[in-house]
Amino acid sequence: QVQLVESGGGLVQAGGSLRLSCAPSGLYAMGWFRQAPGKEREFVAALSRSGGTTFYADSVKGRFTISRDNAKNTVNLQMNSLKPEDTAVYYCAAHYSGSYYTTSSYNNWGQGTQVTVSS
């Protein structure tokens, strides 16, 4: 498996923005998940293989946008209007089979990037 690498995490104030990238994305459907301390890893967003269909968790809908940059072979997560509750380690993953919303449907994970939103 190709190692996925996330970048773009950091510290931002509430209301601010960050853009995460994951490379390489190849021709896979891709997803973003996050995991806060003491909590289970949860779905954030996913993008179909063609890039024509997107999926979002209710908690981020309208604030986050997932997209694919074919020229750079990356999948990006634009995060706007960030809230303290968005603080977590964010992981990208390649979708293998099944629901886009569950971790078991993904078979290749990045190492994660920390996003911290201060109030």
**Is 90 exceeded by the pLDDT of residue 2?**
no
- Reported as a single tens digit per residue, the pLDDT across 3-42 is 999 999 999 999 999 999 999 888 789 999 999 999 999 9
Q: Which residue has the higher pLDDT, 115 or 50?
A: 115
**pLDDT of the residue at 27:** 78
**pLDDT of the residue at 109:** 96
**pLDDT of the residue at 25:** 81
As a whole number, mean pLDDT of residues 112-119 equals 97
For residue 54, CA distances in Å to 11, 38, 64, 79, 115 come to 26, 28, 11, 15, 22
- Reported as a single tens digit per residue, the pLDDT across 58-89 is 999 999 999 999 899 999 999 999 999 999 99
Amino acid 113 reads T
**Is 80 exceeded by the pLDDT of residue 1?**
no
**pLDDT of the residue at 50:** 86
> CA dihedral defined by 26, 32, 35, 40, rounded to 10 degrees?
-100
- Hey, which residues does 58 pair with through a beta bridge? none
Per-residue pLDDT band for 51 (boundaries 50, 70, 90) equals confident
In terms of C-beta distances under 8 Å and separation of at least 24 residues, what long-range contacts does 58-61 make, across chains too? 59/85, 60/86
Q: How far apart are CA 1 and CA 21, in angstroms?
A: 19
85 φ, ψ (degrees, to nearest 5): -70, -5
- Only one residue has tokens 């190492």, namely 111
**Is 80 exceeded by the pLDDT of residue 55?**
yes
